[in-house]
Structures are given as C-alpha cells and as structure tokens.
Structure 1
Amino acid sequence: MPEPEPSVADVVVRLPKTLPAHASVAEARACFADDHVHLLLFTDSGRLLGTLVREDLDDSACGPALRYARLAGRTVPADLPAEAARRLLLRRGQRRLAVINRDGALLGLLCLKRRRTGFCSDADVAARAADRLR
C-alpha cells in the first residue's frame, strides 16, 4: 500500500516568528533586515490578522504595519497536499505562505527552500538561529 502524500501540515514550520497586531512599520522594516525573512505574520491570540512582504511597504509607509498587510493569496489550509502547495508557490513566484485552520488560527509557516525543491523544517530554522548566535 503506497504511503499517503504529505500535506502542508507535515512540512510546515510550526513556530514561526510572529508580530503583534500593533507592531509598527519601523519594526516590520527591522525584521526585513534579515534576508531569510520573506513574510511577516501579524497575530492576536493565535489568530492570523495579516501578512506583510517587503513590497507592501513603500517609502512613505508609516504607523501600524498591519494597515499595509493582507491575507488574500498568502494563506493555505493545512490539509492541502504539500506538492500542490509547492506548485502553487512556484506559479505565483512566492516562497512563503501562512498556514491557517478554518477559524483563521495560525498553524505555521510554509517555507519553500531557496532551490524550490522542498520545504524548510523546524530543524532548518533552529540551525540557522544557532549559526547566528555563533
């Protein structure tokens, strides 16, 4: 019997960095100083309120960053097959999508690797963090 195809839930980074709903544009810009950061996740009580990419912030952006955030086109359900999600990311030219449940709760972050052949894992993220501390 063949093994079931992995779903997004099987490959998601489970503890992505999040920002509070009141985070400022300046705080968002500081996060984007790290070239590994592609998508910021704004949450309140575990619920995803919005996502932000660098291109969402023009030079005149100021105040609360959530004002410039959006959800449309930046989320996927956990039960989507991982390969379907990879193809979707490739088609859209994206590398990150927030993973949410039906109620809008953030379950994690789907991160397509730089080579676009697979997904980042919690272990990959932890290893990068450890490298930065050295």
Structure 2
Amino acid sequence: MNQPYRVSGKRNIPLALGLGLAIITTVYVLANLAYFRVLTLSEIADAERVGALAADRTLGSAGGVIVSVTVLLSIMGSINGFILTAPRISFAMAQDGLMFEKLAYVNPRFKTISFGIRAQVL
C-alpha cells in the first residue's frame, strides 16, 4: 500500500500536535496581552470586536478593517477545513460500524466519499 503522507506517525503526530498547540497558545496569550496594553478593562468589556478596536487604536481606522478582514478569512478557512476533514471522520466511523453505513459510501467514478461530504455540508 502506497501511503505518501505517512512518514513517521509515531514521531510526527505528537510533534505536530505539541508544536501547533504551543504556537496557538503563544499567539493567543500575546494577543490578549496586547489588548490589555492598548485598551482599558471597560473598553474590552464593552467592545464587540476587541481585536479590531485595538488595531484601530494602534494602526488607525485601516488597522481595524484589516483585522476584521483577517478574522473573516480565518473563520472561512476554519469552516473549509472542517468541511474537508469531518466527513473523513464519519467515513472511518461508518467503516467501523459506529455510524450510518451510507456514510462509508465511496463514489465509484470519482473515488470520493461524496455522500459524507454532502451530508457534512448540509
């Protein structure tokens, strides 16, 4: 069986999970420290978009727009990633008999899990 993506799962998966968690945690903590440095507690409590307000305060009105667009693109990327990965989880569970058998259907022409993808999108 040719598996080009699996080089060393025992090493790479824990490494990727650990590094990913460390990077995201660091970015989150640094962003929050920046918010507290630029804004008061009452401003943070009252703001709907804290990141945009902090960027607006430090970079001007263009900064708020840039942060808002960046957050929007990040959300769209997360939704895209979820739509692409979640059907594969359902597929694996259906193969193991833990989900509906139909979710394990593979389209014979395109070799995709078309039913699972459509079910996830809906």
TM-score normalised according to structure 1 size:
0.23
- Which structure's residues are more often strand, by fraction? 1
Q: Which has the higher contact order (CA 8 A, sep 6+)?
A: 1
Output the TM-score relative to the length of structure 2: 0.24
Please identify the structure whose Cα radius of gyration is greater.
Answer: 2
Q: Which has the higher helix share?
A: 2
